[in-house]
Amino acid sequence: MILKGIPMAIDYVQEFYNYLRFELNLSINTVKSYIFDVNLFMTFIGKEGVDVTEVDKNVIRNFMSERLEHTTYRGNLESERSLSRRVCALRKYFKFLYTKEYLKSNPFIGISSPKKRVKNPDVLYASQIQKLLELNRERTDKLASRDQALLELMYCSGLRCSEVVSLNITQIDFPHRTILVKGKGNKERVVPFSESAKACLLDYGRNLRKELEKQAGKRSQYFFLNSKGDKLTTRGLEYIMHSIINKTGLSLGFNLHPHALRHSFATSLLENGADLRIIQELLGHSSINTTQIYTHVSKENLKNQYEEFFPKKDSKNTEKSDNNGI
């Protein structure tokens, strides 16, 4: 129902628009964002057969639940951050309606913004890493050696995407197998790398990299170059990771991205007994709390490995054990 003498719901939105734009003097883009979120909610309650005056906390929670299960045009679930913004807009809208006495009560009082879901990072098992390196090694295209060097280095060092693309030749100490990394906030740290990574880096550096420089007609201070001989960008690195999966045909269950190799590096160290403080130092985390997420990933990895490789009982044995009354 609509309260007696109250304009229709569509007029509420128009009046709210005028209030935001001309009384609060908000920017046109901010106002459009508010109105978009309000209209999204109005569409939802319309489908539910609920009038704006009948909205209660259950309706609001149903809306929030549906939005968290909504898939965006990019194929991702709507984030808690996006939903929090929508809730903020609706909270302001319903406060406006209540203040104007269009509603007898404000249903958004006591409604909290959604808590952020803690998503474990994408991680490759040791067997998946091994398979990925083997398959990529079989490639015969021009850029294969560069991509192999990238995979080897990123997995065995845990460098950030930005740290890889900005890597300068002078930062690499081949005799000692270390890299002087300039991380966030220009903080420096020394990170070692493996013998296999060293071999791949030298192969790329002595051969393909020189070809790319010659092709570009210039020398570059940056170690990793794109197909035109220019500095590799973070977007370019992300594209390379996607193309590696396409070229090798390996299925991981998620899109390979640079950070997945960093996550895999940290998880592998933890599972093999490395101290969390050492991992923090290698990753360049300012807080140990950031590093601790890998303790959850490690436990999940161990469980998945157990489920995949532990011998399963046959159906007869399962039936017997089910009847033991335990």
Please tell me which residue in 34, 93, 102, 294 is annotated as part of the active site.
Answer: 294
Report the interhelical angle of 80-99 vs 28-48 (nearest 10°). 90
Q: Is 242 a catalytic residue?
A: no
Structural Rg of the chain based on CA atoms: 27
Q: Residue for token digits 């013998």?
A: 195
CA distance 39 to 46: 10
Please tell me which residue in 70, 116, 184, 187 is annotated as part of the active site.
Answer: 184
CA distance 291 to 275: 11
Q: Give 179's strand partners.
A: 172, 191
Q: Is 299 a catalytic residue?
A: no
CA distance 135 to 144: 11
Q: Is 184 a catalytic residue?
A: yes
Q: Is 257 a catalytic residue?
A: no
CA distance 258 to 250: 16
Q: Is 189 a catalytic residue?
A: no
Going from the C-alpha of 300 to that of each of 114, 274, 289, 306, the distances in angstroms are: 25, 17, 18, 10
Going from the C-alpha of 124 to that of each of 3, 153, 280, the distances in angstroms are: 58, 15, 19
Please tell me which residue in 92, 146, 262, 263 is annotated as part of the active site.
Answer: 262
Token pair, residue 104, equals 């007898």
CA distance 230 to 219: 9
Please tell me which residue in 92, 160, 209, 263 is annotated as part of the active site.
Answer: 160
Helix then strand then coil, % of the chain, to nearest 5 = 60, 5, 35
Q: Is 160 a catalytic residue?
A: yes
Please tell me which residue in 67, 86, 263, 285 is annotated as part of the active site.
Answer: 285
Token pair, residue 99, equals 């203040």
Q: Which amino acid is at 263?
A: H
Catalytic (active-site) positions? 160, 184, 259, 262, 285, 294
